[in-house]
Amino acid sequence: MAKIVFFDVEDYEKEFLNKHNDGNFFFVENPLNDMTKISQEIAEAEIISVFATSRVTKRILSKFPNLKLIALRSVGFNHVDLDYCNEHNIAVETSPNYGNKSVAEFAFALMLGVCRKIFPAENDYKNMVINPNNLVGSELGGKTVGVVGVGAIGAAFVRLAYGFDMNILGYDLRPDEELIKKYGIKYVDFDTILRESDFISLHAPLMKSNFHLFDDEAFSKMKKTAVLVNTARGELIDSEALFNALTSEKIAGAGLDVLENESTINDLDLVIGINRLSNDELKNTIINSRLFQLPNVIVTPHIAYNTYEAINRILSTTISNIRAFEEGRIQNKVN
């Protein structure tokens, strides 16, 4: 029976996983990264499961000589050294489609939060400051929203936007005919998204081709009244360019559930080992701290996926991936 180690596991996840435990599951509460202490018992694992907060590098993978499968409890896989996995015949499986509704709904919450100034209003009222003139917002109905990445999550966002009576523009390599027919989405090029959108919501995976997709040039083409929402990956946006665009009023606001180099904020081994950070990582950490202070920005700690329903779907898919692998089948393979 293969030894399976789950990293970064919460108590409520253990309760779910133990229903499928044949006695070969081992749980580690902390994420897996270069600072993790790997005991002999854990090093013998043939299968490991990690969340997006882990950083599965070549250095850490070399400590698992028997490893055959990495079962990701996430859609993204940019936190895993796929080159090393390919070289050592380690399969990597992802957990797709678990948070389509959860992430789409959260993106809408961020969009509403920014455009209706919900959090400044709450803070003012709690401090007994009542000045509605400073809290004038804008409606979503009749406005144009650009959806960058119209996959499963983007499609769920499109359905919500349709319900809010918004004009919907989409930017994706593969137009979805059903979305065109049912929800009136119009697929356009990236520049059109920038020029015409009152709101832009990002739902694209991070790839080399779209790293810093939103840079100084992109922000210069957007409406000054535009709001940018990102629940995808922080590296889709150049942090410095975003900060400059917000403070110089090139755009009106942003709702961010992800940040560039966000791990430097909450990853203890990076906080302690700050000398391990590159100059770019240090710069982005400072910029992130400044973004927190801007009144026209909402920042949340990468929790768009975080609903009971989505977590149960993640765990169900992870168990299914592992069982299939044990039977000689690979499903939801990344590499």
Distance from C-alpha of 281 to C-alpha of 239, rounded to nearest angstrom: 11
Rounded distance, CA 62 to CA 84, Å?
9
193 in Cβ contact with 149 (< 8 Å): no
Structure tokens at 142: 């009749």
User: Is residue 233 annotated as a catalytic residue, yes or no?
Assistant: yes
DSSP state letters, 235-298: GGB-HHHHHHHHHTTSSSEEEES--TTTHHHH-HHHHHTGGGS-HHHHHHHHHHHHHTT-TTEE
Report the C-alpha gap between 332 and 206 in whole angstroms: 18
d(CA 67, CA 45): 6
- Helix, strand and coil content of the chain, in percent to the nearest 5, comes to 45, 15, 40
HSE on the CB side for 190, CA within 13 Å? 13
Residue 262 designated active-site: yes
Rg (CA), the chain: 21
Encoded amino acid at 18, one letter: N
**How far apart, in Å, are the Cα atoms of 145 and each of 25, 141, 183?**
45, 10, 13
| Complete edge-to-edge strand list for the sheet that includes strand 47-50 | 25-28, 4-7, 47-50, 69-72, 91-93
Catalytic one of 13, 260, 262, 313: 262
Q: For strands 91-93 and 167-171, give the pairing.
A: unpaired
Q: Is 302 a catalytic residue?
A: yes
- Give the 3-state secondary structure of residue 99: coil
CA–CA gap between residue 90 and residue 78 (Å, rounded): 15
Pick the catalytic residue from 233, 235, 260, 313. Answer: 233
- Would you name the residues annotated as active-site residues? 233, 262, 302
